[in-house]
Amino acid sequence: MPDDTALLDNHLAFLAAHRGEVRRSAAGIEVVGESAEFSAWIPLDPSAELPPGTTTVRLVPWSGAGWEQRLTAAGFESAEVLVHMEVPVEAVEGESMAAISTDDDAAAFAEVQAAAFLDEDEPDYEWWRRMLVEMAVKNYRSPDQSLYLVRVDGDPASVTLVLRTGPVFGVYAVATKPAYRGRGLATRLLAQAQRDAAGGRITLQVIEGSDAERLYLKLGFRVAFRSPHFRRP
């Protein structure tokens, strides 16, 4: 039976590299995000004390029994469920893609992320745009990460990154500019992730019930485990 804690460790490595800081203890894992929406506490002991000031709790199969009842009694409400998925690694034909290797390409990588994920009318749009550039520039040189960029006629069009922790290869930041969707660009990037993961395991995370979950199920991904979120209003 595969060790699904290795999938969680990969996800936490991504959060530590791109979204903030991860602090571990026997009682739980604290994620301190650059943005509050990424901050959360993950209990690892059914008898652990809820840290003061916690507003988001993520449960995993190793949290232990009774947490949903405890959180509800403490005034937390059920929120989204993050689904950790895995797909069998298969041999992929075709030419390998090169990961980005310059600051300019890192900025182009972040440009695609901003176009795919952000709304320019959001009040924190500029903060997010700057952070995406900073994170891409900081991380593309990491020996444990590969950031991939597909251009169409020179225009940055689609991206993903692959982060390695031991035998696990996590796929993150899958994004395509709206003008280039439906052309199979993300499929090309996922094929490269398969090449990267030869001999290992591939994982990613999606929101339960989302279009992304339905897409990845069609692509052969299976649910490894669910991570329900609870938030204090």
pLDDT, tens digit, 9 for 90 and up, residues 73-96: 999 999 999 999 999 998 888 889
The pLDDT tens digits of the residues spanning 148-207 come to 999 999 999 999 999 999 999 999 999 999 999 999 999 999 999 999 999 999 999 999
SS (H, E, C) 77-106: EEEEEEEEEEECCCCCCCCCCCCCCCHHHH
For 1-47, what is each residue's pLDDT tens digit?
468 999 999 999 999 999 999 999 999 999 999 888 889 999 999 99
DSSP state for residue 184 in the 8-state scheme: S
For residue 38, what pLDDT is reported? Answer: 87
Break the chain into its structural domains and give their ranges: 5-85, 103-199
Q: Is 152 strand, coil or helix?
A: strand
Q: How far apart are CA 76 and CA 164, in angstroms?
A: 34
Sign for the pseudo-dihedral over CA of 175, 177, 182, 186: negative
Give the pLDDT mean for 53-70.
97
The answer to whether 214 touches 95, Cβ cutoff 8 Å, is no
Q: Is the pLDDT of residue 65 over 60?
A: yes
From 193, 172, 162, 194, select the one nearest 84 (Cα to Cα).
172
Instruction: Choose between 118 and 1: higher pLDDT.
Output: 118
The reported pLDDT for the residue numbered 150 is: 98
Looking at residue 92, what is its pLDDT? Answer: 86
DSSP string, 28-80: EEEEEESSGGG-EEEE-STTPPPPTT--EEE--TTS-TTHHHHHHHTT-EEEE
Per 3-state DSSP, the chain is made up of helix, strand and coil in percentages (nearest 5) of 35, 30, 35
pLDDT in tens, 122-158: 899 999 999 999 999 999 999 999 999 999 999 999 9
pTM higher than the cut 0.85: yes
| pLDDT in the model for residue 93 | 85
Question: Which class does domain 103-199 fall in?
Answer: alpha beta
Question: Quick one: pLDDT at residue 2?
Answer: 64
